[in-house]
Structure 1
Amino acid sequence: MTSDDKVVLRAMANLWRGAESVGGRLTLTDRYLSFRAHALNLQTAPLDIPLSDIAGTRRYRNMGLVPNGLAVTTRSGTEYRFVVRKRDRWIDRIAELTS
């Protein structure tokens, strides 16, 4: 993500990294889906997914129960799982930017 990117959506979110649910901020720009962890987490590496690498998104139930999961799959087959409010809004905007 660069300072030239136009922010489309931004929200507090969690990213599942193995068994750890990493808290931070999820940002969708006109070029990237980015996650920045809070400093209090064990795993704080930034994540930047170019929109051109996103193959698809889907809804999932966090912990098998709560309907607030957003799964993003890259063209290489890697799946990233986020927990975010208003996930349908995120899915719609990602679809608009990647179509």
Structure 2
Amino acid sequence: MNNKKVQYTKKEFKIDLTWKQRISSMFFTTIIYGAVLFLFDRNQNINSIIFQAIFFGVLFVLIFPWAMKKILGKRVSNIVPELLDDEEIEEEIFANLFRGVEGVGGKIFLTNQRLIFKSHSFNFQKGQTNLEYSIISSVQKRKTAKLIDNGIKIITKQNTEFDFVVNDRDNVLVKIQNKLNL
């Protein structure tokens, strides 16, 4: 056996916008929100509409993303699964796992032995789901809400189904299927 440690890239979810994109988004959001306010309440003072629209644009384009990054950033990036003694993480993928009606946010970890889903601490249903590669019978594409092509369904040999939502579904599907074909 090869005892070399496999290096993997830890992926961080981030959307980096330039200041030009942020200002454009804030301007667009302000105009749209102002138009909606005007159309639904024509009795409102125009100065009030302008103030509310600017406040909404600044709040949701600048302040809200910054606050969410501060609140969620460390909770999402510090998700660490419980591993077996000789287990090593080879891939880390942001995902949601449906447990009943709740889409539980967290990460999929592809290791040298199994697929692990570990939730982040903001969920009601917390914990770790372990799927040995040997018990997985199929991995297939699925649509989320019968509309969006971002789902993966994993079916075990006991016919238990696990529905995941991921970004870049086709790439993630290939990575999981490659682990099953080892």
TM over 0.5: yes
Q: Within 5 A, what are the aligned runs for 1:1-99?
A: 1-2=83-84, 4-99=86-181
Higher strand share: 1
Gaps of 5+ in 2: 1-82
Q: State the 1:86 CA deviation.
A: 1.6
The structure with the largest alpha-carbon Rg is: 2
Q: State the 1:62 CA deviation.
A: 0.8
Higher relative contact order (CA 8 A, sep 6+): 1
Contact 1:9–1:90, Cα closer than 8 Å, also in 2: no
Structure 1 runs of 4+ off > 3 angstroms?
none
Contact 1:60–1:71, Cα closer than 8 Å, also in 2: yes
Q: State the 1:3 CA deviation.
A: 5.2
Q: State the 1:29 CA deviation.
A: 1.1
Q: TM-score, normalised by structure 1?
A: 0.91
Structure 1 residues 80 and 37, CA gap change in structure 2 (3 angstroms): same
Aligned Cα RMSD in Å? 1.3
Q: TM-score, normalised by structure 2?
A: 0.51
Mapped partners of 2:85, 2:144: distance in 1:
32
Gaps of 5+ in 1: none
Partner residue in 1 for 2:9:
none
Report the residue type matching 1:77 in the other structure: N
Mapped partners of 2:90, 2:161: distance in 1:
22
Q: State the 1:89 CA deviation.
A: 1.8
Q: Count how many residue pairs are aligned between Structure 1 and Structure 2.
A: 99
Report the residue type matching 1:35 in the other structure: F
Mapped partners of 2:141, 2:147: distance in 1:
12
